[in-house]
Structure 1
Amino acid sequence: MRIVPFITACLVAVILFGLVIERDRFFSAVSDLSPREDAADTVEFTNVTPEREATEPADSIEDGVIRVMAKRSVAQEIGTQVRLRGETEAAREVSVVSEVSGKIVSTPLRKGAFVQQGQLLCSVDPGTRQSSLAEATARLAEAKARRPEVEARIPEAKARLAEAKARLEEARINATAAERLSQDGFASQTRVANTEATVQSAQTAISTAEAGVKAAEAGLESLQASIESAEASVTRAQTEIDRLDISAPFAGVLETDTAELGSLLQPGGLCATVIQLDPIKVVGFVPENEVNRVEVGAMAGARLNEGPDVQARVTFLSRSADATTRTFRVELTVPNPELAIRDGQTAEILIQSQVVMAHVLAASSLTLNDEGTLGVRTIDQDSMAQFMAVNVLRDAPEGIYVTGLPDKVDVITVGQEFVTDGVTVAPSFEEVIQ
């Protein structure tokens, strides 16, 4: 019971083989089997269609030759472009935080508001900080007021030292004179002993005077340290007061509301987030096999999903690849005075590269060989099909731009899937048909 479907399948396969592969021979065999018309009908048919017979090719195609459609393609110079997918990114984004603790006493600004550089965003209640500043200022004034008194002690101590040295010299002279008089019998031993005691007393006075000088100098150094400490206290108190007013670091747009009136901020608490959108960056990531085609300063363009098409130059190309994607960051800096471009918009980036010779072909001309390599079937000088691998640069409305082919080449556009390398073909060129 299954022999009939099998025979039917074989007949269908034979018919399809004749229609596709051996088309001419198949129709020739069918015409031989069909009943011949009489002479009158033949004459009448000949008279009716003289033009068709005139257009028939005189020579028939040999067996094994496959008809194909082809195109004579000539390479042309084109500026290659590196195509990337990316997004817009704010030139700067800062989370402005508090450096002091306290209650917010300023009216909040709402997100989306444009702020100028230095504009007040949040104001913190000063509390007792003004009192601390006044106290530190008073200690500084007191320390500075003591400076003349302490400085005056140094000359006084030095004068006492000089006086002690003079008394020592006098005592030594008296002692020497008493010693000589005693040797001649003109002075008693008691007088000699008194002069020696005076010398020792004078030496002690010198030591005391030197200690006084050092003490006066140490007092001055201590006073200087007190002054510096008081100045540091004043600076610290003033800095605390200056930090009460939190200002915008640059002109931009508020991405969040500023801190609410009456809320308590701690050091590190968020006051607001400010972003700068003029200029704005367009960021993409270049694969490592194309990174050498991109240079800083190269002309580029970006097409946004929602927004104007922009042109700019490459301002940054990363020297380090992303550890996960193995791609390199590239940035364009685009003027955005009207803030028409938003942060985070998807963008298609085209970066201009060097000029190359390329062919423009229809996408349907591309095919794959047995190894899965992308290419086209071409026709050599012996009218044989030959596979050539190509590199796709980009697609355009007029076709696909490819490289890897000779400057002039005949490319099979229809029928490339039915031939292999070395198969003889009979091409019909598109430009001749058109």
Structure 2
Amino acid sequence: MRLKASHLFILGGLGLLILYFVIRSVMGAVAGPKVEAAPPAEAPPPQVQVAMVEESIQPYVVRLRGRTAAARAVVVRAETAGVVAATPTPEGAVVARGAILCRLAVDARQATLDQARAALRSRELRRRASATLAEQGYRSETQVLQDQAELDAAAAAVRQAEIALDQVNIRAPFRGVFDSRDAEVGTYLSPGQPCGSLIELDPLLIVGNVPETEAGRIRIGETATATLVSGETLSGTVRYVARDADADTRTYRLEVTARNPRLAVRSGLSADVRVSTASGPAHLVPPSALVLDSEGRQGVRHVVQGDVVAFTPVQVMSEGPEGLWVRGLRGQVRLITVGQSYVDQGQKVRVALAQ
């Protein structure tokens, strides 16, 4: 029986299918049974190094930027009108209290004083004669009292003329530095117009602005130290802390007084101010231990019970060669000294003591 071409095609397809299954079964037997992959091993917690830091009682120090300033600064003005006749004090000179800064022309003031003194002598003679006549019965008591009143008026006129004459001398009201002169010889000054400016540099003021978080710690009379841009150090005491904050900066004005006997320190110099306040708990940490959290707060990371990382905000009290004294922690702390930048709060870690 002769097969048709269609039958031959079908038989060929069946043969290929049977051959495929035979080869698959043979290859499966050679490969062996299928083995399932083992789940990946869990990664161990990160390792950090810690140092045991003990709590210590240290004086709190408030640090701020400040500047030196004159304790007093006044514009010395004329009390009477006149033309400036002399300027005996040069600008920048250190002057004692009462020193003449500007002198006005005397004009007729001396003549007025001489006239007042002559009138006083006349009234004294009349009062003396009146008293003698009253003892002899030739003068009434009323006339004696009137002569005494005229004598008193003449004495007052002399005192007035003396003051007017002395007012031509424009004097320093306190010891200080004649910082600037506003009137030259020949200048006409009316009452109230300036001769120049006088500043007091001993005691010297150191002024700054205290943050609202620190203002409540500072008390009047507490010691303060200021390091100037020149490297010079001044010691003083707090004399004033404002009660009302600046509306823009929310800070409080602080004033420290310091001795400046040689007037060597000028007004307006920048200074780093440190105010020592009451003592409290503090911890000594290395500067590298300070980190910032997600909110931008400065603090340290340490390990608490269960080897879990914790973050505590701290404030730097002072800085020295041995490290930073900070406040904000309590008791003994396992401070992370290596790896603090690579762990987060609440993360479990493996702990190793720092060498």
Sequence identity of aligned pairs in percent? 31
- With over 3 angstroms needed to count, the CA separation of the structure-2 counterparts of 1:420 and 1:121, relative to structure 1, is closer
Using the alignment, how far apart are the partners of 2:68 and 2:243 within structure 1? 21
- With over 3 angstroms needed to count, the CA separation of the structure-2 counterparts of 1:125 and 1:405, relative to structure 1, is closer
> Which of 49, 52, 55 does residue 70 from structure 1 map onto?
49
> Which of 65, 72, 77 does residue 92 from structure 1 map onto?
72
Q: Which residue of 1 aligns with 2:94?
A: 114
SS at match of 2:315: strand
Q: Which residue of 2 aligns with 1:191?
A: none
- With over 3 angstroms needed to count, the CA separation of the structure-2 counterparts of 1:367 and 1:271, relative to structure 1, is closer
Equivalenced residues, count: 312
Provide structure 1 residue ranges, at least 5 long, that are not aligned to the other structure: 1-31, 33-60, 159-212
Establish whether residue 126 from structure 1 lines up as the match of residue 50 from structure 2. Answer: no
- With over 3 angstroms needed to count, the CA separation of the structure-2 counterparts of 1:254 and 1:420, relative to structure 1, is closer
> Which of 62, 75, 82 does residue 62 from structure 2 map onto?
82
Using the alignment, how far apart are the partners of 2:41 and 2:307 within structure 1? 13
| Structure with the higher helix share, 1 or 2 | 1
- With over 3 angstroms needed to count, the CA separation of the structure-2 counterparts of 1:292 and 1:322, relative to structure 1, is closer
Q: 2:84–2:188: 8 Å Cα contact kept in structure 1?
A: yes
- With over 3 angstroms needed to count, the CA separation of the structure-2 counterparts of 1:375 and 1:117, relative to structure 1, is closer
Superposed counterparts of 1:151-190, under 5 Å: 151=131, 154=134
Using the alignment, how far apart are the partners of 2:301 and 2:127 within structure 1? 99
> Which of 206, 209, 218 does residue 294 from structure 1 map onto?
218
Rg (Cα) greater in structure = 1
- With over 3 angstroms needed to count, the CA separation of the structure-2 counterparts of 1:128 and 1:403, relative to structure 1, is closer
Q: Which residue of 2 aligns with 1:360?
A: 285
- The residue type paired with residue 339 of structure 1 is L
TM-score calculated relative to the size of structure 2: 0.75
> Which of 212, 232, 236 does residue 313 from structure 1 map onto?
236
How far off its partner does 1:392 sit? 1.4
Using the alignment, how far apart are the partners of 1:372 and 1:125 within structure 2? 68
SS at match of 2:181: coil
- With over 3 angstroms needed to count, the CA separation of the structure-2 counterparts of 1:254 and 1:156, relative to structure 1, is closer
SS at match of 1:234: helix
Using the alignment, how far apart are the partners of 2:183 and 2:127 within structure 1? 47
Q: Which residue of 2 aligns with 1:27?
A: none
Using the alignment, how far apart are the partners of 2:41 and 2:352 within structure 1? 15
- The residue type paired with residue 411 of structure 1 is L
Q: 1:307–1:340: 8 Å Cα contact kept in structure 2?
A: no
- With over 3 angstroms needed to count, the CA separation of the structure-2 counterparts of 1:365 and 1:285, relative to structure 1, is closer
- The residue type paired with residue 312 of structure 2 is A
How far off its partner does 1:105 sit? 1.3
- With over 3 angstroms needed to count, the CA separation of the structure-2 counterparts of 1:410 and 1:148, relative to structure 1, is closer
SS at match of 1:109: coil
- Deviation string for 1:249-278 (max 9, x for gaps)? 333222113631111111112122222223
Superposed counterparts of 1:324-403, under 5 Å: 324=247, 327-353=251-277, 354-363=279-288, 365-368=290-293, 375-385=299-309, 387-394=310-317, 396=319, 399-403=323-327
- With over 3 angstroms needed to count, the CA separation of the structure-2 counterparts of 1:63 and 1:127, relative to structure 1, is same
Q: Which residue of 1 aligns with 2:181?
A: 257
| Structure with the higher strand share, 1 or 2 | 2
